[in-house]
Structure 1
């Protein structure tokens, strides 16, 4: 069933991309030895799981 899910996800991604949507996975940016939130730019320790500034989570 995982291959069926991947197939459905691929078709959905193609549909969204054709209409101008970004379907890439968003992750933490890096700044020296800190994680940096891609939304607000807040810096966090390596063990952070959510942004304490704006609440963003990968």
Structure 2
């Protein structure tokens, strides 16, 4: 599974075996690189929808 950070100007890419692992890493990335980002239900769903299979 793969996720490219949806934040403009951020080139971070997360790859992992499962969606759960990708989401956990995405949360860590958001907390460290985008602390202003509020991880509400809508934002989390938008992030989840960006995950693709590789």
Q: Same fold (TM over 0.5)?
A: no
Structure exhibiting the larger radius of gyration computed from Cα positions? 1
Q: TM-score, normalised by structure 2?
A: 0.34
Q: TM-score, normalised by structure 1?
A: 0.32
Q: Which has the higher contact order (CA 8 A, sep 6+)?
A: 2
